Structure 1
Amino acid sequence: MVKALIFDFGDVFINLDKKGAMDNALNLFKLNQFTPPMIHTNELYEQGKITSEDFMLFYLKSFPYLTREQILDAWNYILKDFPRHRLHFIDDLAKKQDYELILLSNTNELHINWIKENVPFYGTFKNSFHQFYLSHEIGLRKPNEDIFQFVLDKNNLNPKECLFIDDTTENTITAENMGFHVWNIDETSQDITDLFSIKQELF
């Protein structure tokens, strides 16, 4: 029986434009793909191992023809709307108190700052969860096993009693291999509000 629901954030609650953001960035940087140093820097930033200023300085030095504003806009391009019906869904779940509600997101300070400024109900959303884990605050990131073990240990959970919901296949594969129930949500055709009908066999 499922006792804990563990949710990703992007493309589960807030909509993302991953392809658009990548195309926009590659065009801005005049590249065909991200370089290994860029990928490494992004991952360090996502784990809070470098500051927002260090992150920005890396890109300013790597692309001196760009302004800070251009880089920031490109970085936040991925973030889109947060439909209110998803807020109502998690808020209703919180009020029922039937499950431990946990958010587990790969994110970073600049993205969270943008969300705080542009999503007026962010505080209500955050308060709906018992635990709200952001990768840059806990120093861990998906799909590494240690972030899932962190959640289990911190909350005294059995993976067989947890359902992990994420739109990224590599994340759900790791969780499933560790014994979690998973839902690899397809954001193009499914919505988190359909949870109890799509995964009804677990409830």
Structure 2
Amino acid sequence: MIKNIIFDFGDIFINLDKTATALELSKFGFTKITPELDSLMKDYEKGLITSSDFISTTNLILPNATPKQLQAAWNKIILDFPEERLLFIESLAKENNYRLFLLSNTNELHIEQVIENMGINRYNRFQNCFEKFYLSHKINLRKPDSSIYQFVLEENNLKAEETFFIDDTKENTDTAEQLAIKSWNLQVGKEDIINLKSKL
């Protein structure tokens, strides 16, 4: 029996344009994610470096852009948060049938952009739906590392077999399933979180 639900954030609740940042950065000479850049982005997502250090180090790799242009390009991925999804999670929280958690690979600049796009009141309404609101840069862990799932389970005394996890990235749901967490790899554009109950 499912008692706990863990939700991803991007492309589950808030819409993302995952190609927008690369397209914008291509104006400044970006062609592909190098191992150096990949490592930098993962460290930033884990909160191991500050936003200013992230931008300044990226600026060394892409010197044709200004720091302001790099930040704007980085945040282009963040789109809108449909109202029906906010109403859905508020309704689910009000029913109080499940313990609800958010677990997202989200860095500081992106969450600041999310709050700016949503407005602080809508963002607070969303955050208040969850018992715990885990952002990777706050807990120094990121998906799909198994340690992040174990952290959430242990900190909240959750049993894996009583827990349901939703994420749009298959690599993330695959790891969760290896830990006996039932998962839904949501297909963006074909499925929507508002139809969650048909999956439980």
Query: TM tier, shorter chain?
Result: over 0.9
**TM-score normalized with structure 1 length:** 0.95
User: Could you say what the CA RMSD is over the residues aligned between the two structures, in angstroms?
Assistant: 1.0
1:71 to 2:70 alignment: yes
* 2:163 corresponds to: 162
Between the two proteins, what is the percent identity of the paired residues? 49
**1:91 to 2:80 alignment:** no
Structure 1 letter corresponding to 2:21: A
List structure 1 runs of 4+ shifted beyond 4 angstroms: none
Length, aligned pairs only: 198
Q: 1:115 corresponds to which letter in structure 2? A: V
1:36-59: CA deviations, max 9, x gaps? 111100000000000011101101
SS at match of 1:164: strand
Mapped partners of 2:133, 2:6: distance in 1: 10
Contact 2:103 2:134 in 1 (8 A): yes
Name the CA distance, whole Å, in 1 between partners of 2:179 and 2:33: 31
Q: What's the offset of the Cα at 1:21?
A: 2.8
Say which SS state the counterpart of residue 77 (structure 1) adopts.
helix
Q: How does 1:12-31 map to 2 (within 5 A)?
A: 12-25=12-25, 27-31=26-30
Report the equivalent of 2:116: 117
AA matched with 2:17: D
Unpaired runs of at least 5, structure 1? none
C-alpha distance in 2 between matches for 1:28 and 1:46: 24
Is the CA contact 2:22–2:30 (under 8 Å) kept in the aligned structure 1?
Answer: no
CA deviations on 1:72-128 (whole Å, 9 max, x unpaired) are 111001111100100001101111111000000001000011111110200110011
Partner-residue secondary structure (3-state), 1:39: helix
Question: TM-score scaled by structure 2?
Answer: 0.96
Name the counterpart of 1:189: 190
Q: Distance in 2 between matches of 1:10 and 1:149?
A: 21
Q: Distance in 2 between matches of 1:187 and 1:194?
A: 13
- Residue equivalent to 1:180: 181
Amino acid paired to 1:186 = Q
> Any gaps of 5 or more consecutive residues in structure 2?
none
Give the match's secondary structure for 1:18: coil
